Amino acid sequence: MGYESRTQAIYQITDREPIPVGPPTRLEDLWAADVFSLSKMKQCLPKAVFKSLKKTIEAGEQLDVSIADTVASAMKDWAISKGASYYAHVFYPMTNATAEKHDGFISTQSDGSAITEFAGKLLVQGEPDGSSFPNGGIRSTFEARGYTAWDVTSPAYLMETDNGVTLCIPTVFVSWTGEALDKKTPLLRSIGAMNRAATRVLKLLGDDDVAPVNSSCGAEQEYFLVDALFANSRPDLLLAGRTLFGKPPAKGQQFDDHYFGAIPERVQVFMQDVEKKMYRLGIPAKTRHNEVAPGQFEIAPFFEAANVASDHQQLTMTLLRQTAKKHGFVCLLHEKPFAGINGSGKHVNWSVGNSTQGNLLDPGDSPHENAQFLIFCAAVIRGVHKYGPLMRAVIANASNDHRLGANEAPPAIMSVYLGSQLEELFNQIATGELSDQYSHSGKLEFEIDTLPPLAKDAGDRNRTSPFAFTGNRFEFRAVGSSQSVSGPLIALNTMLADSLTVVGDLLEGELSKGTELNQAILTVIQEIMQKHGAVIFGGDGYSEEWHKIAVEERGLANLPTSADALPVLTEKYIEELFAKTGVLSAKELESRYEVYAEQYILSIEVEAKLVVDIAKTGIYPAAMRHLADIATTVGGLEEMGISLDKDNIKTVAELTNSMTSKVSKLSSALTKEDFASTEEHMKYFATTIRPMMDAVREDVDALEAEVADDLWPLPTYQEMLFIK
């Protein structure tokens, strides 16, 4: 890019006015305006058809295919009235991305005219290519047939561009032989498995009226904004999503002045534009603020049913990226786009509940008296202890490896934080010494005349915990910002289903012996805590002491890289977990391992090739020009009595030679192809290629501090992070 073009970019950016997004609009005029919601269905559909569809959506009854034509016709008429001419089956392949197959409503007639048409069979089923998406060997290249099928439980919606409107229909995506090729199918299965196990336990607890149990999700999305004039001049940002080179600026996040600070006007206009679009799609955006790192921000929604929340999360990422372009930004969802400052996560707040018993992870005023909460919380604890490595595996990718264990992200060791009051209570149950005396949450006293005492939560928050209880839900803090939330939700739902099955068996065993219900509950919880209480930890998850205790004394797994974590998906006990709950077959699970491993390898390979290309074609020429410029001025400077900075010349020369040598070795290392297994291939990229990339970066970042600024080819951290 060079100094002159970088300077021009700075002038253009600082002279920009925020792009107007129109006058404020009332929430009631925006909310779900582009969603074919239940209220719109009620208006458009015959009463009997609406009742049948509502039972499927709310009670989980199987869809009556005979009503499909009527629903499709009403959906088409509504969409066309809003300007739509196309519809799209939207699905979620195993890439963390969103896929769409678009078709027109148009149907030509024999007389040369054209009409709009949308039959029920087109609504219910579509057929994209089942071999061109990652499938982990489920489909061969010549076996191309795959099906999308309408997910009635997630509402259809409209996506609008400057030139038109498309009706979007959420679907599952399966192979011709029925295996899941997507992230939605196993999510729906996991919800069903968890519902069956939870319903059984609730009935054992004495509840006769039990509505379907679902999990809920609220995902806090963190992201960076970089001006497009800078980002488009960084090949690493464009192709890898992160900066592979970059000297830390003199000021980073050390002043703690960005977190919850005043939002820059241009950024706030962008946020408001995103929120308007989210509201039109029925996505309940609730919170926005500056995050810790400069240039970093967060948006968070209200809780929703897990399946809808997962779809909405995919839409949120799409809207952030698309709207950023309109405002002259590039939205970075990579977990660690800038070295030396905080990266971005996507904290998944997860709970379970229904309409009859409420939130099953809400302890109420006194967890001592809430048997329902205690039994479900104990089941979660068991699940994390037994399947912690699975939780690590479902958040494993090349980009999240940069973040886990750093100052802003919990470690790769899965543990549960309960807070002092709950931890004390569960410890009492485990030892059989349950006391009427326990820590109360109390009140916050401000000692300010105008402020009344406020209620204090039962426990503090622990940002070093990967899985923390936060009052009425668990917060899975280790999920990466670029990831789909469906993977973590599938794991949590399936783990809970398995634990609740065990809880149900234990309860039935105690009750069959004539044990009184409350005593049976305590006996079951005590057994669970004695076997699985080692996973509870309330201290500093970053400390070296905890890492040692966790592994050596408590037997918890420490899986620092994706190369360590992804092979967990091939373990027999994980295969058995998914098979017995009906969430994933052995073949489907194996395919996921192969897809995720391949994506890990390819991601690092792309980065490594970029390191080689940028170092050769950008950094090396800049360093040589710097040395040449000095050489041409040596004589004149000496005549004027100006002494040369010989240290600079020597340093630049040595760093350039070192960088060139390291780039050559990295380039050669990338040619290795003879790997005995996928696991060995991943390990090679984790333990050989990544360190070699870091070694090149060390020289390049040092050169940035020495080479003349007007010769440096890349926009700097200082420019990208602080100029908005």
What's the confidence (pLDDT) of residue 415? 96
For 380-393, what is each residue's pLDDT tens digit? 999 999 999 999 99
What is the 8-class DSSP label of residue 723? -
- 21 pLDDT band, cuts 50/70/90, is confident
Average pLDDT over residues 113-127: 90
CA distance 632 to 613: 28
Beta strands 164-175 and 146-150 are antiparallel
The arrangement of secondary structure in 599-722, i.e. its CATH architecture, is Up-down Bundle (1.20)
- Whether the pLDDT of residue 142 is over 70: the answer is no
Retrieve residue 714's tokens. Answer: 């890349």
Burial group, residue 303, by CB count within 10 angstroms (0-12, 13-18, 19+): buried
**CA dihedral over 578, 583, 584, 585, signed as positive or negative:** positive
What's the confidence (pLDDT) of residue 637? 59
CA distance 355 to 207: 13
Classify 416 as helix, strand or coil: strand
Q: How far is CA 211 from the centre of its chain?
A: 29
In which residue are the tokens 């071999």 written?
131
E strand segments, 83-200? 84-91, 99-104, 106-108, 114-116, 125-126, 146-150, 157-161, 164-175
Whether the CB-CB separation of 493 and 383 falls below 8 Å is answered with no
- Whether the pLDDT of residue 349 is over 60: the answer is yes
Q: Which residue has the higher pLDDT, 47 or 24?
A: 47
Rounded to 10 deg, the angle between the 517-532 and 371-393 helix axes is: 30
- Average pLDDT of the chain, as a whole number: 91
What is the 8-class DSSP label of residue 303? P
Whether the CB-CB separation of 253 and 292 falls below 8 Å is answered with yes
What's the confidence (pLDDT) of residue 370? 86
Q: Which residues contact 257 (CB under 8 A, 6 or more apart)?
A: none
- Whether the pLDDT of residue 437 is over 60: the answer is no
Q: Domain residues of the chain, as ranges?
A: 31-182, 191-598, 599-722
- Whether the pLDDT of residue 241 is over 90: the answer is yes
Cα distance between the two ends of the chain: 18
- 162 pLDDT band, cuts 50/70/90, is confident
For 81-103, what is each residue's pLDDT tens digit? 999 999 999 999 998 889 999 99
For 326-348, what is each residue's pLDDT tens digit? 999 999 999 999 999 999 999 99
Whether the CB-CB separation of 184 and 91 falls below 8 Å is answered with yes
**What is the CATH topology of the domain spanning 191-598?**
Creatine Kinase; Chain A, domain 2 (3.30.590)
- Whether the pLDDT of residue 161 is over 90: the answer is no
Q: Which residues contact 654 (CB under 8 A, 6 or more apart)?
A: none
- 409 pLDDT band, cuts 50/70/90, is confident
Report the 3 state secondary structure along 8-60: HHHHHHHHCCCCCCCCCCCHHHHCCCCECCHHHHHHHCCHHHHHHHHHHHHHC
CA distance 584 to 579: 6
Average pLDDT over residues 279-289: 95
Retrieve residue 121's tokens. Answer: 């069979």
- Tell me if the pTM is above 0.85: yes
- Whether the pLDDT of residue 157 is over 90: the answer is yes
What's the confidence (pLDDT) of residue 203? 96
Average pLDDT over residues 575-583: 98
What's the confidence (pLDDT) of residue 410? 77
- 48 pLDDT band, cuts 50/70/90, is very high
For 689-698, what is each residue's pLDDT tens digit? 999 999 999 9
- Residues comprising the chain, all counted: 724
In which residue are the tokens 């041409």 written?
632
- 60 pLDDT band, cuts 50/70/90, is confident
- Whether the pLDDT of residue 705 is over 60: the answer is yes
- Whether the pLDDT of residue 439 is over 60: the answer is no
- At residue 475's C-alpha, the angle toward residues 472 and 477, to 5°, is 170
Among candidates 629, 663, 635, which has minimal Cα distance to 649?
629
CA distance 204 to 208: 9
Among candidates 174, 227, 212, which has minimal Cα distance to 19?
227
Retrieve residue 153's tokens. Answer: 């439980």
Average pLDDT over residues 9-15: 80
- Whether the pLDDT of residue 70 is over 80: the answer is yes
- 369 pLDDT band, cuts 50/70/90, is low
Among candidates 278, 326, 331, which has minimal Cα distance to 300?
278
CA distance 517 to 510: 8
In which residue are the tokens 């963390």 written?
96
Q: Which residue has the higher pLDDT, 369 or 499?
A: 499
**CA dihedral over 163, 167, 172, 173, signed as positive or negative:** negative
What's the confidence (pLDDT) of residue 707? 96
- Whether the pLDDT of residue 240 is over 70: the answer is yes
Among candidates 214, 180, 205, which has minimal Cα distance to 58?
214
**What is the CATH topology of the domain spanning 31-182?**
Ubiquitin-like (UB roll) (3.10.20)
- Whether the pLDDT of residue 132 is over 80: the answer is no
Q: Which residues contact 112 (CB under 8 A, 6 or more apart)?
A: none
* 297, β-bridge pairs: 223, 290
- 17 pLDDT band, cuts 50/70/90, is confident
- Whether the pLDDT of residue 274 is over 90: the answer is yes
What's the confidence (pLDDT) of residue 255? 82
